[in-house]
């Protein structure tokens, strides 16, 4: 028995980016992370994220005001984003950049007053989002699912008609539909670039090559995933038995039958661990199974959304501010404890038996007064430093968020700095007063025994 595993397979760059967004939010957010719709169409992926704490909802109205809201990789209509912002949600849009490209293509045609045909599947979340990008009173937009519909669809102005495709369609099927439309509408405007994504095309090409050698093909993916279903359809178009499976447990000996070569592939929304589980399943079923791979893995990578980086930065700033505040509070508490300890010493009764004790006690008292004054000054300086830091934080926050006008920012910072300087002056004055009190106390203690000696001498 021979197992042939095709490449590229598994997560495409868009799916990887979307899953990574939710994973990273769950890593640092200390609050629930809400996701509108399944982040990608795969139950294993969604289930794993849900176990980590992600909350999946179908509409933004189900998300509490002010919460973090992630838009799925399939994209959403502009009205959905507007509704989310109206609810004060912190939106992180994980739409695949390739879907975004098609959305912008639809918006461009709407602005130009063209009619638009979306070649895709009605009710699919990606198609619903594309429909929402057509905001034009001059033209119309409609969905065509197959060649039969392409042969009968009616349009407003055949001379101003454009088309786009859902990104996860089978390339061959989309081409057949486009051919029908072009035969009816010769002026049909094509997209500026391919609107079926590179990952969909690559995986369909890999399945065709796999079908050249394998008699039966297993496609790892979810049944409600468009790109997963298309892979199984392509394999069948090539004359092979193909099975779409969500887990390795679905593989049976009856499906394989007398086949000597088994093909294995995974869709763009299926995680690699499901592929490896399928390999183990087949190895257990057929001891001595020979395994080989062909093709190359993809290297495409999409950067995280700006909104995610912004939330991460805000979290870092808040964590730093919290740590700084805790450190300052700890230092301030320590200084206050030291000052209180000095004051407690001053409250202790003074006992002495002779002139030497009187002099030493006076000196000790003066030193304690000096230490108390210095400790009080430290507290004052620390409070001054905290005021300055608060002022700087307020200023930085105002600059970053553009919440205050420049004049107001400078007024707040200058006021806080003046308060800080006044606190420092008070601390210095406290040191001076304490030293004067200590000096007077020493003079008082020294003058008493001297008067006693003078009286004795007379």
Q: Which residues are catalytic?
A: 126
Phi first, then psi: what are they for 439, rounded to 5°?
A: -65, -45
Sheet holding 115-119, edge to edge: 141-144, 115-119, 161-165
Element at 246 (helix H, strand E): none
Residues in the chain: 458
Can you tell me whether residue 267 is helix, strand or coil?
A: coil
Query: Do residues 283 and 1 make contact, with C-beta atoms less than 8 angstroms apart?
Result: no
Residues 6+ apart with CB under 8 A from 362: 441, 442, 444, 445, 446
Environment class of residue 337 by beta-carbon count within 10 Å: exposed (0-12), middle (13-18) or buried (19+)?
exposed
Q: What is the Cα–Cα distance from 128 to 150, expressed in whole angstroms?
A: 19
Query: Do residues 153 and 144 make contact, with C-beta atoms less than 8 angstroms apart?
Result: yes
Distance from CA of residue 388 to its chain's centroid? Answer: 32
Element at 190 (helix H, strand E): none
| Dihedral angle over CA of 224, 229, 232, 236, nearest 10 | 120
Q: Which structure tokens are listed for 406?
A: 């420049």
Q: Which structure tokens are listed for 191?
A: 């997209």
Q: What is the Cα–Cα distance from 259 to 233, expressed in whole angstroms?
A: 19
Q: Which structure tokens are listed for 272?
A: 């690699």
Can you tell me whether residue 68 is helix, strand or coil?
A: strand
Count other Cβ atoms within 10 Å, centred on residue 254. 5
Sheet holding 2-6, edge to edge: 241-245, 216-220, 261-266, 2-6, 290-294
Q: Which structure tokens are listed for 23?
A: 């994973």
3-state helix, strand, coil in the chain (%, to 5): 60, 10, 30
- CA 178, 183, 185, 191 torsion-angle sign: positive
């Amino acid at each position: 028995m021979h197992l042939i595993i095709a490449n590229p397979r598994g997560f495409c760059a868009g799916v990887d980016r979307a899953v990574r967004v939710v994973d990273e939010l769950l890593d640092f957010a200390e609050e629930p992370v809400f996701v509108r719709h399944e982040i990608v169409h795969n139950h294993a992926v969604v289930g794993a994220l849900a176990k980590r704490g992600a909350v999946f909802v179908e509409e933004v109205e189900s998300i509490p005001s002010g919460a973090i809201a992630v838009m799925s990789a399939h994209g959403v209509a502009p009205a959905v984003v507007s509704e989310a912002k109206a609810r004060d949600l912190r939106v992180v849009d994980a739409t695949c950049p390739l879907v975004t490209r098609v959305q912008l293509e639809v918006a461009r045609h709407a602005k130009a007053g063209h009619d638009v045909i979306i070649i895709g599947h009605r009710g699919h979340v990606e198609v619903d989002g594309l429909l929402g990008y057509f905001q034009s009173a001059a033209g119309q937009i409609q969905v065509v699912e197959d060649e039969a519909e392409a042969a009968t669809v009616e349009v407003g102005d055949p001379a101003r008609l454009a088309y786009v495709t859902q990104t996860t369609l089978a390339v061959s099927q989309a081409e057949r539909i486009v051919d029908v439309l072009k035969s009816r509408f010769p002026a049909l405007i094509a997209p500026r670039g391919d609107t079926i994504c590179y990952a969909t095309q690559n995986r369909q090409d890999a399945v065709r090559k796999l079908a050249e050698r394998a008699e039966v093909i297993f496609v790892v993916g979810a049944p409600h995933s468009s790109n997963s279903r298309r892979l199984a359809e392509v394999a069948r178009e090539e004359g092979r038995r193909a099975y779409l499976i969500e887990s390795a447990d679905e593989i049976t000996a009856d499906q394989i039958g007398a086949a000597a070569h088994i093909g294995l592939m995974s869709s763009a929304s299926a995680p690699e661990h499901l592929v490896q589980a399928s390999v183990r399943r087949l190895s257990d079923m057929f001891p001595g199974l020979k395994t080989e791979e062909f093709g190359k893995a993809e290297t495409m990578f999409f950067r995280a959304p700006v909104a995610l980086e912004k939330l991460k930065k805000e979290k870092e700033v808040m964590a730093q501010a919290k740590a700084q505040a805790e450190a300052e509070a700890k230092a301030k508490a320590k200084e206050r404890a030291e000052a209180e300890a000095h004051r407690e010493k001053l409250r202790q009764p003074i006992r002495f038996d002779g002139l030497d004790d009187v002099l030493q006690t006076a000196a000790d008292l003066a030193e304690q007064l000096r230490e108390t004054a210095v400790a009080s000054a430290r507290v004052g300086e620390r409070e001054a430093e905290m005021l300055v830091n608060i002022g700087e934080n307020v200023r930085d926050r105002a600059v970053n968020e553009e919440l205050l006008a420049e004049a107001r920012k400078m007024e707040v910072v200058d006021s806080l700095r003046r308060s800080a300087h006044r606190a420092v002056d008070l601390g210095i004055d406290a040191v001076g007063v304490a030293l004067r009190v200590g000096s007077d106390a020493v003079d008082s203690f020294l003058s008493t025994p001297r008067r006693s000696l003078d009286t004795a001498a007379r």
